[in-house]
Amino acid sequence: MKTTWIMLPLAFAVSAAFGDEAATLTKEEIASKLNGVTANDITDSPIPGLYQVSVGSNVAYVTADGRYLIQGEVYDLESLENVTEATRAAARVEMLGAVDPAEMIVFRADGEPKHVVTIFTDIDCGYCRQFHRDIDRVNALGIEVRYLFYPRTGPDTESWAKADKVWCADDRNAALTRAKLGGSIPDKKCGETPVAEHYELGRRVGVRGTPAMFAENGELIGGYLPPDQLLKTLDAIAN
């Protein structure tokens, strides 16, 4: 029986049990049991007898006989590393790195940037607005901010429409700042915007709330942080 996979943020779900094969299966045979998974998504895991399955930032483990799927965090007790999160972070680096900065709204650091953060933002999110009120301070600390849109209410909602309007504005940075401060945005049309692509990317990298901040190494920093605390966190990650 072929297992149907339902992609969820940071999780896998299956709708049926695996068959009862006793032999060790190849990666191709494991992939044939999982809809939407190819052999390229399957690697040997750090744990003998388990395959690692990675699709986007979703990670799970399958026994070598193809019978059991395991979902959860794997830690190396010698290094104290969360190896599951390391796999997710590497996937996020690849996915976020594939986005042209021209398809983002970028607030550049003053001078040479010390750090770059990518943030999925919702114009109507209170903590997103609170963070953006300090954007000048963030930039002055040497942090470049790359915004992607993630209207939490989804398509065909007021928050989504605001994101479209900001993108179509002549000065996107100024329009985003004005929108986050509760100001009006000109209702200008410019054809298709990247909001839908940003939103789908957010789902793939595991965004569950906004602001969702990612460091350059793909680590999910979490939600709102004041500028000084954000800098300390980024310095610690870099070191």
Q: Which residues are catalytic?
A: 122, 125, 128, 152
Q: How many CB atoms lie within 10 A of CB 222?
A: 12
Identify whether the C-beta of residue 52 lies closer than 8 Å to the C-beta of residue 37.
no
Phi-psi region at 173: left, alpha or beta (left = phi > 0; alpha = psi -120 to 50):
alpha
Residues shown for the chain:
239
CA distance 55 to 32: 15
Residues with Cβ within 8 Å of 138's Cβ and at least 6 positions away in sequence, in order, are: 107, 131, 145, 227, 230
Q: Determine the distance from the C-alpha atom of residue 129 to the mean position of all C-alpha atoms in its chain, rounded to a whole number.
A: 20
Beta partners for 13?
Answer: 6
CA distance 6 to 196: 20
CA distance 194 to 100: 11
